[in-house]
Structure 1
Amino acid sequence: MHKVYDRWPEIARKNYFSDLSQIEFTKCPHIVFAGMGGSGAIGDIFSAILSKTSTHVTVVKGYHLPKTVTNNSVVVVISISGNTVETISMLKNAIEINSKIIVFSDGGKIKDICNEKNIPHRNIKKYHSPRASFTSFLYSMLHVLKPIIPIEEKDIIESIKELENMSIKINSKKISKENPSIQISEWIKDTPVIYYPWGLEPVAIRFKNSLQENSKIQAVIEDVIESCHNGIVTWDKQNNFQPILIRGQKDYEKTKERWEILKEFFSEKKIDYKEIISENGNILTKIICLIYLLDYASIYLAIKLKVDPTPVNAIEYIKNKLN
């Protein structure tokens, strides 16, 4: 797994500059991202990128598309394995609705359905596992969907360059106390509660999933603003949780104020917390570099806990029962 993660910047660059054909339309009032797990997390990133545009975005993780999806909607179906049962169900649902459909997978049953129904399919290589294939799929999709994704090429190039800079600090050749991913893994000793601002929700979801899949530990995520209306009360008593604050460079002013109040509250309660701040740059750069940093932290934590990050036996158990 670590060998693939060391190559993330290279894989990102290769897939963004691939020869995959781009979509041929430019207007898209409603775009739906349909996928589960690591594939669904990619949809979360596109939702964050598009959040400040007039495009209506829906991310669906389940068996059925909502009634708001029509034949005017663009449904982007993502299944890295190509065999995810929920995603296959959503693809069939989109076919029934007669939506515009774009499909990304590394073969599988989904590709067979696309061939049978004459649906555009882009075959993206899987590296090691779905979660390790993150940059392969994300940057291929940024290339293919470019006509309807309002993010400038210079921003995408910036994100790849910052991935390269991040790799120098955190990759498997940098085994030292200066490695920020190792620092995070060393700090985690109990169950993390991951606080995030709305724009960085994809980072929090991905970090939670990576801790669960790679490190085999539980984790909780909380929107920092919403949590101040409910979840924060749980810190009034001692517990076995550890707060992690994921902050963006140039967060909204009121969000910055909330962070400072929260930190003051934790300090008064003598609760140790970990603050993780994004790189500078556009929203894609912030998200992808945080994901790289935190994914690697989950791998180093697995090593510290003496568990193999690769197997996901419980997931396989459920998949086998479904089959």
Structure 2
Amino acid sequence: MQIAGLEHEMLDLALRMPEDLEEAYSKYAAVSFPEKSGYQNPSKIVVMGLGGSAIGGLILSDYAYDRLSAPIIVTREFLAPNFLDDHTLVVAVSYSGNTEETLRSLKSALKLTDSIVTITSDGFLEKTAKKYSLPTYVLPSGRPPRTALPQMMIALLWILEKSGLYKFPIEEAKEAISLLKELRKHYVANPEPLIELASKISESLPLVYSYWPYRYVGYRFKTQLNENAKIHAFWTPLPEANHNEIMGWEGKLQANYHPVIIRDEQEEDYLKYRIEYLKNLLRSRGISYSEIFTKGRARLAKMFSTIFTLDLVSVILALKLGVDPLPVSTISGLKSYLSTRIDPKEYSEI
């Protein structure tokens, strides 16, 4: 499928997000959990993952922030936190199944709890899940991890239901799927807003601002710009940026910045006033900015409509810059470098 005359495999993957959500819902409904403490009504959920395998947990933590009595904690480290216990549900996520940090964390987690679920497509994580008979959500293989966010998010929402913490939001999911299909049709026919934002970012250093429950939707955009367009981008959540980052606008500007502010038209006044101040501050320094408003009624649709839109912007930007959005050569180079210095048995033999 083309947008503005552009064609690419990554564009196709971004555009099929509604089908990915739809298929994952049916596929993952069948995964069952053991009837024991930790799996049932856990006191907390710890999601372990890195990069594209962590983003689902981060977005889920925003989605569920005011809806669960149990916290969702995302760790992106080599070691599991010491507070894991028999009442903790651990979710180990690695698209490839071979992420060193996640496998090391899992190895240490198994010493503290056996209530563990895995989300993966293959690799050592899948082998470990089979060895310990851990419930597993199998991701589609052969694609960049960052494009599997829909499947990861649906799997995580099912985990909330199977653990007895939160009923799967089927009506929200249906709205999100329907809205993304409408947006896809709209953007194919009217790509100008996507191209305009991509053009503004192409000539600047993007600074992404977002507030709860879209904090990590903003972070997702930052990382998509990194991985797809191969450019630097920075993200700070609001209101935190108001307590430190805004001071940077007093001094000498170090680059040609272009802030992107993610907003909800139903935002609270206390957020609106802070953003008004930020916008006035930017105008006083001659800084242009863009605002992206969420679409949809329920939270899940608002989140995914924005993710869908900004994912497309990142791919269009890459193609306009003459960059292949698919490979992540520098990340692959790091993994190759580490493979000559670290024995995989250190973390793969669990």
What letter corresponds to residue 112 of structure 1 in structure 2? K
Q: Distance in 2 between matches of 1:262 and 1:207?
A: 20
Equivalent of 1:117, from 113, 116, 132?
132
Bigger drift between 181-190 and 69-78 goes to: 181-190
Residue 157 (structure 1) aligns with: 174
Residue 148 (structure 2) aligns with: 133
Could you tell me whether the CA contact under 8 Å between 2:56 and 2:156 is conserved in 1?
no
- What SS does the corresponding residue of 1:202 show, helix, strand or coil? helix
Q: Cα offset for 1:202?
A: 1.1
- What SS does the corresponding residue of 2:111 show, helix, strand or coil? helix
Equivalent of 1:58, from 73, 76, 86?
73
Equivalent of 2:33, from 23, 26, 38?
23
What letter corresponds to residue 245 of structure 1 in structure 2? I
* Dislocated runs of 4+, deviation >3 Å: 22-26
Q: Cα offset for 1:254?
A: 0.5
Could you tell me whether the CA contact under 8 Å between 2:45 and 2:88 is conserved in 1?
yes
Equivalent of 1:13, from 11, 17, 22?
22
Task: Give the direction of change, closer, same or farther, for the CA distance of 1:127–1:138 in structure 2 (3 Å limit).
Answer: farther
Task: Give the direction of change, closer, same or farther, for the CA distance of 1:159–1:183 in structure 2 (3 Å limit).
Answer: same
Equivalent of 1:197, from 197, 211, 215?
211
Equivalent of 2:12, from 3, 7, 29?
3
- What SS does the corresponding residue of 1:228 show, helix, strand or coil? helix
Instruction: Tell me the number of residue pairs that the alignment of Structure 1 and Structure 2 aligns.
Output: 319
Q: Distance in 2 between matches of 1:31 and 1:140?
A: 14
Could you tell me whether the CA contact under 8 Å between 1:105 and 1:123 is conserved in 2?
yes
The runs of 5 or more residues in structure 2 that have no matched partner are 1-9, 340-350
Could you tell me whether the CA contact under 8 Å between 1:64 and 1:89 is conserved in 2?
yes
Aligned pairs (5 A) from 1:282-293: 282-293=298-309
Equivalent of 1:240, from 238, 256, 271?
256
Task: Give the direction of change, closer, same or farther, for the CA distance of 1:22–1:290 in structure 2 (3 Å limit).
Answer: farther
Aligned pairs (5 A) from 1:79-90: 79-90=94-105
Q: Cα offset for 1:259?
A: 0.9
The CA RMSD over aligned residues, in Å, is 1.8
Could you tell me whether the CA contact under 8 Å between 1:72 and 1:99 is conserved in 2?
no
Aligned pairs (5 A) from 1:152-301: 152-170=169-187, 173-174=188-189, 177-178=191-192, 180-188=193-201, 189-236=203-250, 237-238=252-253, 239-301=255-317
Q: Distance in 2 between matches of 1:54 and 1:117?
A: 29
- What SS does the corresponding residue of 2:310 show, helix, strand or coil? helix
Q: What is the TM-score of this pair, normalised by structure 1?
A: 0.93
Could you tell me whether the CA contact under 8 Å between 1:192 and 1:241 is conserved in 2?
yes
Bigger drift between 79-88 and 277-286 goes to: 277-286
- What SS does the corresponding residue of 1:17 show, helix, strand or coil? helix
- What SS does the corresponding residue of 1:96 show, helix, strand or coil? coil
Could you tell me whether the CA contact under 8 Å between 2:257 and 2:287 is conserved in 1?
no
